[in-house]
Chains A and B, each alone.
Chain A
Amino acid sequence: MISVILNGEPRQVREGSIADLVASLGLDVKKVAVERNRAIVPRSTLADVALVEGDALEIVHFVGGGC
């Protein structure tokens, strides 16, 4: 296990790719976007990017919002 910051909270996750993490969280990869250490990770490369100790990840999606 390695430690990462996921959506602002420290979290222990299994080693592997970002795609593995997204799947393990039960999220549909087609409905989210991922930022790693303040850089966008294109969806097509999520399976190729390995998580590294200390990574800061943001996983976002669309929610209701106005102005």
Chain B
Amino acid sequence: MTDSWSVAGRTFTSRLIVGTGKYKDFEQNAAAVEASGAEIVTVAVRRVNVSDPTAPMLTDFIDPRKITYLPNTAGCFNADDAIRTLRLAREAGGWDLVKLEVLGEAKTLYPNMRETLEATEVLAKEGFLPMVYCVDDPIAAKQLEDAGAVAIMPLGAPIGSGLGIQNRVTIRLIVEGASVPVLVDAGVGTASDAAVAMELGCDGVLMNTAIAEAKDPIRMARAMRQAVEAGRDAYLAGRMGLRRYADPSSPLAGLI
């Protein structure tokens, strides 16, 4: 049985979304995407280098006709810049499914939720389908959904920290309350973190640094694919209850 998920009417089989930053080169990046099984990659929008227009481009290595490009607004610290960036992204690639993030400060890269909400409303009115990076706050998640977010993307820990899911309770509450997909965005450090996100019932996980900064990024990409699949399976299987004390697995009857 194929397990799939949908966001804004688009259906995907892989629940892993990977970034395309921090890799040694485009070849390694493309190989990691392949190993991860991801069907969506996040990309950034930046000024072209007008002094070297022949520099290789991401699109030469990761084919946008095969892999869905999800333009992001990484690096934007207010709603205006984020909206401008995504308007340019839509013009450059023609994609209306986008990832919005409006950052609050450089040190933590925590989102500025006031600006994030404002940008979500404007983008939704302009016909964008914003998947939105946010704090792990179930109330903020509801507000984003009301504002037009097509997916809620709470942080598990600060971007690029690799600290893993810090608050399982709030992630679970967001999942339970949302009627749009929930994907943990940021904070995953290793495979078990991705599995935890999926075991909490998330629809998917987005990561970049955990793969790109692994000693062997391609092997880690494969590990993440397996972890996301294992976590999803465990969630669907329904885990056993927790007990405070031991409970023997072998029958007590017939003991010698």
The proximity string for B residues 87-116 relative to A, scoring 1 for CB distances below 8 Å and 0 otherwise, is 111011100000001000000010000000
Closest chain B residue to A58 by CB distance?
Answer: B47
Query: Shortest distance in angstroms between A35's beta carbon and chain B's nearest beta carbon?
Result: 6
For chain A, the bracket of interface size reads 20 to 34
**CB–CB B84/A35 < 8 A:** yes
- A33-B92, A40-B91 are contacts. A27–B53 as well, Cβ < 8 Å? yes
In the complex, chain B residues 27-58 whose Cβ is within 8 Å of any chain A Cβ? 29, 42-48, 50, 53-54, 57-58
**CB–CB B91/A42 < 8 A:** yes
Chain A neighbourhood of B47, CB < 8 A? 7-8, 58-60
**CB–CB B21/A65 < 8 A:** yes
Q: List 19 A-B contacts (CB under 8 A).
A: A25-B53, A33-B88, A38-B84, A42-B91, A60-B45, A61-B48, A62-B44, A62-B71, A62-B93, A63-B43, A63-B44, A64-B26, A65-B20, A66-B20, A66-B72, A66-B74, A66-B159, A66-B208, A66-B212
Chain A neighbourhood of B186, CB < 8 A? 67
- A32-B92, A35-B84 are contacts. A62–B43 as well, Cβ < 8 Å? yes
Query: Shortest distance in angstroms between B167's beta carbon and chain A's nearest beta carbon?
Result: 17
Query: Shortest distance in angstroms between A64's beta carbon and chain B's nearest beta carbon?
Result: 4
Contact partner of A67 (CB less than 8 A), chosen from B29, B54, B74, is B74
Contact partner of A58 (CB less than 8 A), chosen from B20, B23, B88, B185, is B88
Does B149 sit within 8 A of A, measured CB to CB? Answer: no
A-B pairs with lowest CB-CB distance, top 5? A66-B19, A65-B44, A66-B208, A33-B92, A64-B20
Q: How far is the CA of A61 from the CA of B55 in the complex (A)?
A: 12
Contact partner of A64 (CB less than 8 A), chosen from B54, B58, B133, is B58
**CB–CB A63/B58 < 8 A:** yes
Does B77 sit within 8 A of A, measured CB to CB? Answer: no
The proximity string for A residues 1-43 relative to B, scoring 1 for CB distances below 8 Å and 0 otherwise, is 0000011100000000000000001110001111100101011
Does B249 sit within 8 A of A, measured CB to CB? Answer: no
Q: How far is the CA of A30 from the CA of B63 in the complex (A)?
A: 14
Which residues of B are interface residues toward A (Cβ below 8 A)? 19-23, 26, 29, 42-48, 50, 53-54, 57-59, 69, 71-72, 74, 84, 87-89, 91-93, 101, 109, 133, 159-160, 185-186, 206-209, 212
Chain A neighbourhood of B57, CB < 8 A? 31, 61-63
**CB–CB A67/B44 < 8 A:** no
Chain A neighbourhood of B44, CB < 8 A? 62-65
**CB–CB B46/A61 < 8 A:** yes
Closest chain B residue to A9 by CB distance?
Answer: B50
Closest chain A residue to B49 by CB distance?
Answer: A7
Closest chain B residue to A34 by CB distance?
Answer: B91
**CB–CB B87/A40 < 8 A:** yes
Chain B neighbourhood of A59, CB < 8 A? 47-48, 50
